[in-house]
Structure 1
Amino acid sequence: MPNPAPIRLDADTWLIMRYDKDHPAAVVHRVTDTANETRFLVMAWAADPSKRRMTGIHVTLEEADRSVKWDTGPVDEISRKNVGPPNGRNYRPMKPKPF
């Protein structure tokens, strides 16, 4: 699945969305470093700004966007429920092989 486009909040701030539709996964701030080059700081989202933590510094917005990972927890939970033979039919536990 392709990443949704970053949402521009102001001239130097973007929100990166993933599974949750009610809050972003990360905030990206464009800054200029001491060498006068543009950098993009990725901050893990938290509603309280004092709890946000920097997770990376990137040269482009695209790199910053790609650095924000998807939370696979909801998908893993669903797949665990659907693993195995349908309705458990023909299930035979494997016998351990002797060494």
Structure 2
Amino acid sequence: GETSQNQLGTLIAMDAATVKGVIDRLKARGLVELSKHEVDKRRLLVNLTAQGREAIERLIPLARAITEETLAPLSAKEAATFMRLLAKLA
């Protein structure tokens, strides 16, 4: 669903300037669209386009494969510990 640029920055732990740059690049590629908040016109809402949703559907399996390959040398217990530590850093 839609989210504001500020919310997105908080969710992915990026500062506002970095988020704006990323969103600008995604918009230029047709992956997201921006709209103004109905009540607070200063807030920009970010939505995936159909092309953006298609990209996500293609990329999620690749990301999972990379994660599996990265964790392959670890035991199940080590992988779980590693993932908990990463979550703590986020």
TM-score, structure 2 normalization: 0.29
Q: Which has the larger radius of gyration?
A: 1
Select the structure that is richer in helix: 2
Higher strand proportion (structure 1 or 2): 1
Normalising by structure 1, we get a TM-score of 0.27
